[in-house]
């Protein structure tokens, strides 16, 4: 089982989210609850207000402030599923222990080989954290797993940007995804967060408190 190789194959080897970085829950909630998407301009962005500061975020700024390069595929390409090299049916037969055809909405990580099961665990808990369906494999998850197998690099800042918008739109922000990274962004933009913040482990469990 070579999980580091799989993570490196999509270009994410050096960007495992820093879960030891503290975060301010109140500030992160403001970040999500005040978010307003502006997707019909170039480049697409969203604005938000945190402690009366108006902030505009786009993919390029995420990349700059977090030090994560924009490289690789930016969106899920249907050709990745329907090409000669890779298609959805072949993927499900290839990457599962079953031989029948399954659709992603009915597909769970328990059907995956051990290495992809662990990679999916990292995706749903660390890289693109979510609060529900942790063991369900959605089309975007399948795309990432297939990319790992085929050494196809994926732009993490683009997925992170889309994931933030998805959480805002669906009102899941109580789970505070990307809380350490958002706190890092707010600090880089000059917001004063000099008070207690929570410290969490890699699985999001509250462990301690410290002062920035």
Q: What pLDDT was estimated at residue 59?
A: 93
Q: Cα-flanking dihedrals φ and ψ of residue 206, to 5°?
A: -70, 130
CA 123 to each of CA 146, 189, 191: distance values in angstroms, whole numbers, following the listed order: 13, 27, 29
What is the dihedral sign for C-alpha 178, 182, 188, 193? Answer: negative
Reduced to 3 states (helix: H, G, I; strand: E, B; else coil), residue 103 is: coil
Q: Show pLDDT as tens, one digit a residue, over the chain (212 residues).
A: 577 888 888 888 877 655 556 778 888 889 998 999 998 888 889 999 999 899 999 999 999 998 888 988 876 654 444 443 444 454 555 444 444 444 444 567 777 778 888 888 888 888 888 777 778 777 778 778 878 887 888 899 998 998 888 776 665 555 678 888 898 899 889 888 765 454 444 444 433 333 33
- Asked if residue 183 lies in contact with residue 27, where contact means CB atoms within 8 angstroms, the answer is yes
Reduced to 3 states (helix: H, G, I; strand: E, B; else coil), residue 64 is: helix
Spatial distance between the Cα atoms of 29 and 23, rounded to a whole number of angstroms: 11
3-state helix vs strand vs coil in the chain, percent to 5? 45, 15, 40
- Asked if residue 25 lies in contact with residue 33, where contact means CB atoms within 8 angstroms, the answer is no
Reduced to 3 states (helix: H, G, I; strand: E, B; else coil), residue 161 is: helix
Q: What pLDDT was estimated at residue 31?
A: 92
- Asked if residue 154 lies in contact with residue 72, where contact means CB atoms within 8 angstroms, the answer is yes
H or E element, residue 160: helix 156-169
| pTM of the full structure | 0.75
From 17, 28, 15, 25, select the one nearest 168 (Cα to Cα).
28
Residue 207: Cβ within 10 Å count? 10
């Amino acid at each position: 089982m070579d999980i580091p190789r799989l993570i490196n194959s999509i270009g994410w080897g050096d960007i495992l989210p820093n879960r030891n970085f503290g975060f301010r829950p109140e500030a992160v909630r403001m970040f999500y609850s005040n978010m307003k998407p502006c997707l019909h301009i170039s480049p697409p962005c969203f604005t938000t207000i945190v402690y009366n500061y108006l902030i505009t975020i786009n993919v390029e700024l995420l990349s700059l402030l977090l030090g994560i390069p924009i490289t690789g595929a930016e969106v899920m390409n249907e050709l990745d599923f329907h090409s000669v090299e890779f298609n959805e049916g072949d993927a499900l037969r290839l990457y599962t222990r079953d031989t029948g055809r399954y659709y992603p909405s009915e597909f769970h990580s328990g059907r995956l080989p051990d290495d992809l099961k662990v990679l999916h665990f990292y995706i749903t808990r660390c890289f693109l954290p979510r609060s529900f369906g942790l063991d369900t494999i959605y089309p975007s998850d399948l795309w990432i797993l297939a990319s790992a197998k085929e050494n196809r690099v994926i732009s993490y800042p683009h997925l992170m940007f889309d994931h933030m918008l998805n959480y805002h739109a669906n009102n899941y922000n109580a789970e505070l995804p990307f809380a350490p990274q958002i706190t890092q962004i707010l600090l880089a933009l000059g917001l004063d967060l000099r008070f207690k913040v929570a410290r969490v482990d890699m699985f999001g469990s509250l462990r301690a408190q410290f002062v920035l």
